Amino acid sequence: MTLDPTTTERRALITGATAGIGAAFARRLAADGWHLVLVARDAGRLAESAAELGSLHGRPVETIPADLSTDDGCAAVEQRLGDGSPVHLLINNAGVSLNKPFLRSSAENEARLLRLNVHAVMRLTLAALRPMTERRDGAVINVSSVAGFGTAMPGSTYSASKAWVTNFSESVGLSTRPLGVRVMALCPGYTRTEFHDRAGINMSKTPEWLWLEADYVVAEALRDLGKGKSVSVPSWKYKVAVAGLRHAPRRLLEAFTRDTRGRIGRDER
């Protein structure tokens, strides 16, 4: 797959496209000449984002108002991925975290997290890959998290959902690479977005040096996709963190987790 939209009309579909990393992807790809299909729950905000990008870059922007934690929302996006003008790049960015440990959560909230962070990613990836592999052209970026590399968030199921996204992306990517289609997990650390405020997570004690900017995360992701990487971890500091989460002795990691109360990884969007 070529990332250069000037060679032909290239189209990207982005979920969670009105804020944070999703909005940063939309801005960057629109500026690079891509045609866009934006997906988000808030129809009004979605229309405003589409109008702004369309006016700025001189091309229409498609929109799909959809709640991807529901079957109807997923079905609407699946239909667009299978019909109409081809989608060459899918960015599964929509996601949620819960500001409660598992023992104080509810089955309803946990099910919603899994529907959005796992089930929707699976459904939309499958819907996108079928036409992509037939054309032997396309790519999928699934936004995961540094948190998915270890149990550094006591009682949280967010990290478990992101572990699935990373493993899923790597596994599926192995099967699609020979067919000319790439699948990559994007695993950022703390990123300045609305994500934490929406989840009611107080991040005031997080050191300033740990934060990444959404535009930087997107630039790193697209660079790594162009290099053919299956996992992208923006910034050297989070590459070091991932190495520690993957290879540190379990007892040391558990001690670190108790001391930090699991603040690492509530990051993206």
Residue 139 has pLDDT above 90, yes or no: yes
Task: Say if CB 152 and CB 169 are below 8 A apart.
Answer: no
CA dihedral 197, 258, 209, 267 (to 10 degrees): -40
Task: Say if CB 113 and CB 157 are below 8 A apart.
Answer: yes
Residue 164 has pLDDT above 70, yes or no: yes
Give the Cα separation of 208 and 228 in Å (integer). 31
What's the pTM value of the predicted model, to 2 decimals? 0.87
Q: What is the pLDDT of residue 205?
A: 59
Task: Say if CB 53 and CB 27 are below 8 A apart.
Answer: yes
User: Which residues partner with 35 through β-bridges?
Assistant: 11
Residue 182 has pLDDT above 80, yes or no: yes
Residue 94 has pLDDT above 70, yes or no: yes
For the segment 172-180, the average pLDDT, to the nearest whole number, is 98
Residue 239 in tokens: 């590459």
For the segment 14-43, the average pLDDT, to the nearest whole number, is 97
Residue 100 in tokens: 């409660």
Three-state DSSP at 142 gives: strand
Domains in the chain, CATH or no CATH each: 11-260 (3.40.50.720)
Kindly indicate the confidence band of residue 207, based on its pLDDT and cuts at 50, 70 and 90: low
Whether the CA torsion 162, 100, 245, 150 is positive or negative: it is negative
Task: Say if CB 77 and CB 129 are below 8 A apart.
Answer: no
Give the Cα separation of 240 and 243 in Å (integer). 5
Task: Say if CB 221 and CB 199 are below 8 A apart.
Answer: no
- Report, as residue numbers or ranges, the catalytic residues: 158
Task: Say if CB 156 and CB 101 are below 8 A apart.
Answer: yes
Task: Say if CB 92 and CB 139 are below 8 A apart.
Answer: no
Q: Which of 68-72, 172-176, 179-183, 193-197 has the lowest mean pLDDT?
A: 193-197
